[in-house]
A and B are shown apart, each in its own frame.
Chain A
């Protein structure tokens, strides 16, 4: 039983990170109807900003960790907006396939530029947050897991607030519902889309830092697998649906952790894709999504 609880805890903290990344996929899909492949590499850049910054701030302090987290989020928000401006905006209204190919191009560009600038060898992520282990009965809780869950929960509440209680959030929902109608009632679509990219990228950066805290070996290709899994999480929950992304992330993280602890551990990377294929076959709209009919 205690082993089950331990695995559940590990799963939830991994799932929380997937959820953070999945939110970025889902929000961009919501306003632009395309999968931002480069999202997983923004996640990687976030971790690298944390790596370089982590050397400058004192180690093992809460405020040092928070500074790293916030600066990385801001840096990636800017990166996300720049990507949108340079690569995606010229293609607004182009065929889906062209946008998809561009997104793959941006993703590869970030990965391989990272290999040239940061080097391809894995680095050890500095311990920016203080690290202690609490024991609760037979349960071992590391402070990093607590940080992950607390930060994720705060960011989700903040996101929920932005999307449902602010003017820009209302505009985001309007663009997601119908971009043309939104424009007609005076929403500036460019600003909303740019903001969405910034917000999603900031969440990815937070995910990158939190991931690197728990798995402190970072390299320029580190984003590929978590990124793909987070995407699966977004689809699992229903793409374009914010609570869905959170639910999908937590579910996927938990399932993966349990598989990892079983005799099938070598197949853990395949499990996410198996889930993706099953969900697309039986419930393409996702767990919380609503099926839509294509209009001609």
Chain B
């Protein structure tokens, strides 16, 4: 069995194992753990776009919101019809949740395709702005759709998210991204990142690679959004604004773009840090922004990138 597959299996087993003992874990710690997991999914999926493929997306929270709303809508509006008044057995609920998350992920992926096709022909700055603009458009649309709660958002989403689901999706996202990047096909992402003109000269369709990265990244962002919605039980359009996107971007940059382990460490650190630094919570974003500037000037390859020699971004 290839190693990534083995790790996926181990990850799923670990998810099952931890969920078995989850009753004995302090609920506060369990909540933090779930938060960490959701952020890892977001950061790892964004790393495929911003890190490995070298495109700069600022709209990850937008995709997350598409997934969150779609998944919540499936469990809220479809769930009672399929599961009946009683709410069904735990197994049925699990299947329902899986369907909701998949729907959320696929919805976000479709959104990713719709945004990606026009905007990925653009470079750097423009792409960043178009993805940012897209995130804002999504927010404005959700604020105006009465069916989805308008500006008040959706409430009373069933609390399906458990540590098992989060860990399973963490394992799945890390598996997908690493095995994709290390596959023969996936070398194209790195080539697109390194030199777009040269890649095209050797016959790679760079636009296609960018779109594939974008769509896969959006799928996991959507799934993470679904997990988030069923964890917080309430979602509002403003919860997925520009700040959320920036938070994910900071994780990717701090970890080192194109370095999955580093990004996971950064996601853990940046989720735990606000918990520890509650007394100075109002300075959190100042610290983030200073981190971005100082890192770019002093250590552009990221904090957790320990590769020796010259690292090219």
Contacts and interface: CB of A to CB of B under 8 A. Distances in A.
Asked if A pairs with B, the answer is: yes
B137 to A, nearest CB: 5
Contacts of A87: 293, 297
6 contacts: A87-B297, A112-B283, A267-B144, A273-B134, A276-B133, A281-B118
Interface stretch (A68-76, A89-97, A138-146, A183-191): A89-97
Given A101-B253, A102-B296, A224-B242, A109 B289 contact: yes
B246 A266 contact: no
A273 B133 CA distance: 5
A105 B134 contact: no
A296 B292 contact: no
B132 A109 contact: no
B130 interface: yes
Interface residues of A, number: 44
B286 A100 contact: no
Contact of B126 (A266, A280, A294): A280
B303 to A, nearest CB: 14
Given A104-B292, A109-B290, A112-B286, A95 B133 contact: no
A231 to B, nearest CB: 7
Nearest to A101: B296
B275 interface: no
A185 B288 CA distance: 41
A14 to B, nearest CB: 18
A280 B118 contact: yes
Contact of B293 (A95, A109, A231, A269): A109
A228 interface: yes
Contact of A95 (B134, B136, B290, B313): B313
Contacts of B122: 280, 284
B207 to A, nearest CB: 13
Given A109-B289, A294-B197, 13 more contacts: A34-B125, A87-B297, A95-B313, A98-B300, A104-B249, A105-B289, A106-B293, A108-B288, A112-B285, A116-B283, A267-B140, A273-B130, A276-B130
Interface string B275-313: 000000011011011111100110010000000000001
Interface in A201-256: 224, 228, 231-232, 235
Contacts of B292: 101-102, 104-105, 108
Contacts of A273: 130, 133-134, 136-137
Interface string A252-285: 0000000000000011011011101100110010
A112 B136 contact: no
Contact of B290 (A90, A100, A105, A277): A105
B143 interface: yes
B113 interface: no
Contacts of B197: 294, 296
Contact of B143 (A266, A280, A296): A266
A228 B133 contact: yes
A276 B62 CA distance: 17
Contacts of B300: 94-95, 98
Contacts of A105: 289-293, 296
Interface in B182-228: 197
Contacts of B141: 270
Contacts of B286: 109, 112-113, 116
B128 A90 contact: no
Contacts of A96: 123-125
A97 B283 contact: no
A158 to B, nearest CB: 28
B11 interface: no
A282 to B, nearest CB: 10
From A111, A112, A228, A281, residue with most partner B Cβ within 10 Å: A112
A35 B129 contact: yes
Contact of B136 (A99, A107, A270): A270
Contacts of A34: 125
A270 B136 CA distance: 7
A280 B293 contact: no
Contacts of B290: 105, 109
A107 B246 CA distance: 11
Contacts of A100: 56, 124-125, 128
A133 B291 CA distance: 49
Which 4 pairs show the lowest CB-CB distances between chains A and B?
A: A105-B292, A273-B133, A108-B289, A109-B289
Contacts of A112: 283, 285-286, 289
A115 B282 contact: yes
B124 A97 contact: yes
A49 to B, nearest CB: 20
From A97, A100, A277, residue with most partner B Cβ within 10 Å: A97
A274 B133 CA distance: 8
A102 B118 contact: no
Contacts of A111: 285
A94 B134 CA distance: 28
B119 A280 contact: yes
Given A97-B124, A105-B296, A284-B122, A269 B288 contact: no
B296 A277 contact: no
Interface string B233-252: 00000000010001001000
A180 B87 CA distance: 70
Nearest to A282: B118
Contacts of A35: 125, 128-129
Nearest to B197: A296
Interface in A149-207: none
